[in-house]
Structure 1
C-alpha cells in the first residue's frame, strides 16, 4: 500500500491482476476460435472468414494495447518511449486494430442480413473471395485513417519552470496537432469506433431479429398445416374413390363390373408417416396402384388411374421446385440461427464495452483541466483504467461468447478437443476417422436405401400388355 490515495493502489492492482487474465483468456480463446473455424465443416460458412479475421484483429489489439500497460506496471518501461519508430508504429497499430475489429463485425452483420433476407442468393453474392477482399479494404481504410499518428507523434523531452526535465514517451509534435488530438480527433474516433458502427449494428440487429421471428412463426404455421393435411390424408385414404379408365380398351379376359371394389397398394417398405404424405402429393413417393376385384386377381392391358378424393379433402398446393428438401432446410436454419445468435450477442457486448471508453476520451481533456488534488488525479487515472479494461475485455471474451450462443461452435470444439482414436493392436497404428467422412457415409447409405425403395416401388407398376398377379400388402379397400 502506498501513502497516496487508495485509488492509486486499486489502479495498479487492476493492471497487474486483470491484464494478464485477459491476455491469457484472449490468447487461448482466439487461437481456439481460429482452429475451430478452420475445420472443414465450419469453412463452408462465409461467417468463418469474418470470425477468423475478428480473432486475429483481437489478438493484435491485446498484444499492442493491453500488454503495454501491463509491462509498464511491472517494469516501469513504456514501449512507446523506446524510440521514435516505436512511438509512431505502436499508437498507429493500436487504433487501427481496434477500428478494424469493429468494422469486421459490421461487415459480418451485413453478411448475416443477406443470409437471412436472401438465403438462396447469399452464396453467389458473398463468396469467400469477396469476404477476403472486403476485409482487406477495411484494413487499408483504417490504416489510412489512423496514419496521421505516423506524422504527429514522437517522444518529447521538455524543461518546466522549476528546471525539472520531463520526458513524454509519445507526445504531439506541435501545438496545432495537440489541439487536433484534444478537440477534433476524439469526435472523429467516436464516430468511426462507436457511433456509426452502433447505428449500423442496431439497424442490422433489428432487421435480423424481426426476420428471424417472422420466419419462425411462418415455419410453425407450415408445420402445423403439414401435420393437419397428413392427418386428413390418413383418415381419408379409406374413402378415396378410384375410377378406372382404359387407354387401349378393356382386356380380353377381364371385364370388371361397375360395382367392383378397387384396392390401392403402396410399397410395403413405406412407413405409415410416408404413406400419409403420399396421399398429399405423389411427389413424396411412387404408389404401386392396382385395380382388382379379388385377392391375387390377374389383370392386363394398359390402365390409367384417376383418383377422386372426397370434397372434405383438398390437396395443398406444393411448389417443390422452389423449396429445399426438409432435412437440408432444417440444417440450414440451424446454421443460420446459430450464427445469428453469435452475432447478436457479439454486437450487444461490443456496444456495452466500447461506449464507456469512447465517452471518456471525449471528456478527457476538459476533465483533466479540472483536476486540482492528488485524490482527483488518482480518480481520473482509475476511471481511465476501468474503461480501458472493459474495452479490452471485448477483445478477450469472444471465445466464451461463441461457446455460450453457438451450438455448432460447441459441437465442433468438442469434436476437435475430445476426438477418439481407433487403435489396431497388431500394428500399433492409430487411425483417426474424420467426422465429416462418417457423416458422408451415413448420408450415402440413406440415399441408397431411398433409391432402392423407389426402384422396388417402380418394379411393382403394371406393365403394358402383360398379366400381373397383384400381391396383398398395405392395401386400403375403397369402393366405387
Structure 2
C-alpha cells in the first residue's frame, strides 16, 4: 500500500487506456460522425423526403449530432492529444463552452422526443395529424425546444468558472449536488420515458390496425349468410365490376408496412440512445461520492470509466445514419438513388445503319 501511495494516477494502466481512447478513438468518431451526419442531411433533404415532418426532425437531429461532436468530443481530443483546452482561454469561454455542450446534448435528445411524439400522433390520431403534424408546428416545436433548453442550462453561466489550478469547474454546491439529478431526468430518464410511452402507443395501434386489416381481408367469407349469387372473378372482370376490397386491403397493408418501418427505426434509435447515455448520467451523479478522497489507482480506474462513458455517449451521436440504413427501406432507397447513375439517360440520334436495319426487319 505504501508503494502505491507514491504513484500518481498517470502511472496506472487504466489512466493510459483512457488517454488512448481520447487520443485515437475520438478522431475516428469525429470523422465518421461528420460524414455520416452530412450524408443523412443530404438524403433527408431530397425532394421525396423533405416534405415529411418526421424527416424534418431527423434533419435537425443530424445538425444537433454534429454540434455535439464539435463542441464536446473535439475539445476532449484536443485536450488529450495536443494539450489544448478550449475552456482555458478565458472565464467567459469556459462558461460558454460548458453551456454549449449541455445545450447541444439536450437539444439532440429532445428533438428525438419531438419526432417520436410526432409519429405517435400520426399513427394513433391519423385524422387529427393533418392539423397537428404540420411543418409549421414542427418549426415551432424546434424553436420552443431551443428556448426551453436555454432557460434550463442558463445557470451554467453563473455556476461554472475558470479556476487557474483546477481548470473549468463548478463553483457552487448546486451544480455538484442538485444539477446531476436534474440533468439525469432532463437528458436521460425523462426523454426515454416519453419516447417509450409513445412507442408503446404506436406499437399497440399497429397491432390493432393489422388485426382490423386481416379481419377485412376476406369480406365474401364473412357474408356467406347472404344468399345472393356471387359472380366468379372472370365474370366480374368481364362485366367491369372489379371488387375494390382487395385494392383497398393492399393499400392499407402498404400503409401499415410503411408505418411499421418508421416505428422500428425510431424504436431502435430510442433504445440505442438510452443505452449510450445512461452510463454518463450515472457517473455524473456518483462523481461527488467516488472521486473526492479516492486513491490514485481508483482515480485512474474512474478516469477510464469516464472515458468509456463519454465514448458511448458520443457514439450515439455518430451512428444514427447507420441505424436509418438498417431499419428504413425508404432511406436506403433514397441513398441508393443518390449514388445511382443508371437513371441518367443519354439521348442519342439513331444512325442511318440503324434505320436501314429496322426497315429490313419490318419488310419481313
Task: Say whether 1:416 aligns with 2:338.
Answer: yes
CA 1:114–1:386: 2 relative to 1, 3 Å: same
- List alignment gaps of at least 5 residues for structure 2: 1-8, 350-364
User: Which one of 129, 135, 138 corresponds to residue 131 of structure 1?
Assistant: 138
Give the alignment's TM-score, normalised by structure 2: 0.85
Task: Say whether 1:22 aligns with 2:18.
Answer: no
User: Which one of 175, 186, 193 corresponds to residue 181 of structure 1?
Assistant: 175
Greater Rg by CA:
1
Aligned-pair CA distance for 1:24: 1.6
- After superposition, what is the alpha-carbon deviation per residue over 1:363-389, rounded to whole angstroms, capped at 9, x for unaligned? 0111012412x2111101000001111
> SS state of the match for residue 167, structure 2?
strand
Give the alignment's TM-score, normalised by structure 1: 0.65
Are the aligned partners of 1:30 and 1:59 in contact in 2 as well (CA < 8 Å)? yes
Aligned-pair CA distance for 1:182: 0.9
Are the aligned partners of 1:47 and 1:108 in contact in 2 as well (CA < 8 Å)? yes
Q: Which has the higher helix share?
A: 2
CA 1:54–1:3: 2 relative to 1, 3 Å: closer
Are the aligned partners of 1:233 and 1:280 in contact in 2 as well (CA < 8 Å)? no
User: Which one of 152, 165, 177 corresponds to residue 159 of structure 2?
Assistant: 152
Aligned-pair CA distance for 1:9: 1.8
Counterpart CA distance in 1 for 2:230 and 2:252 is: 29
CA 1:227–1:39: 2 relative to 1, 3 Å: farther
Are the aligned partners of 1:47 and 1:339 in contact in 2 as well (CA < 8 Å)? no
User: Which one of 306, 316, 327 corresponds to residue 384 of structure 1?
Assistant: 306
1:72-111 matches, cutoff 5 A: 72-111=79-118
- After superposition, what is the alpha-carbon deviation per residue over 1:65-105, rounded to whole angstroms, capped at 9, x for unaligned? 01111111110111111222321111101101111111111
Show the counterpart of 1:198. Answer: 192
Counterpart CA distance in 2 for 1:55 and 1:45 is: 15
User: Which one of 373, 377, 396 corresponds to residue 318 of structure 2?
Assistant: 396
Task: Say whether 1:13 aligns with 2:20.
Answer: yes
Q: Which has the higher strand share?
A: 1
Show the counterpart of 2:270. Answer: 347
> SS state of the match for residue 341, structure 2?
coil
Are the aligned partners of 2:116 and 2:198 in contact in 1 as well (CA < 8 Å)? yes
**Residue correspondences, number:** 339
Counterpart CA distance in 2 for 1:129 and 1:272 is: 50
Aligned-pair CA distance for 1:280: 8.0
Counterpart CA distance in 2 for 1:136 and 1:181 is: 26
Task: Say whether 1:275 aligns with 2:237.
Answer: yes
Are the aligned partners of 2:159 and 2:175 in contact in 1 as well (CA < 8 Å)? no
Aligned-pair CA distance for 1:223: 1.9
Counterpart CA distance in 2 for 1:337 and 1:128 is: 22
> SS state of the match for residue 84, structure 2?
coil
Are the aligned partners of 1:194 and 1:358 in contact in 2 as well (CA < 8 Å)? yes
Aligned-pair CA distance for 1:333: 2.9
| RMSD after superposition | 2.8
Show the counterpart of 1:140. Answer: 147
Aligned-pair CA distance for 1:237: 2.4
CA 1:218–1:419: 2 relative to 1, 3 Å: farther
- List alignment gaps of at least 5 residues for structure 1: 158-165, 239-270, 285-317, 427-480
CA 1:55–1:367: 2 relative to 1, 3 Å: same
Aligned-pair CA distance for 1:26: 1.1
Counterpart CA distance in 2 for 1:346 and 1:92 is: 25
Counterpart CA distance in 2 for 1:348 and 1:277 is: 54
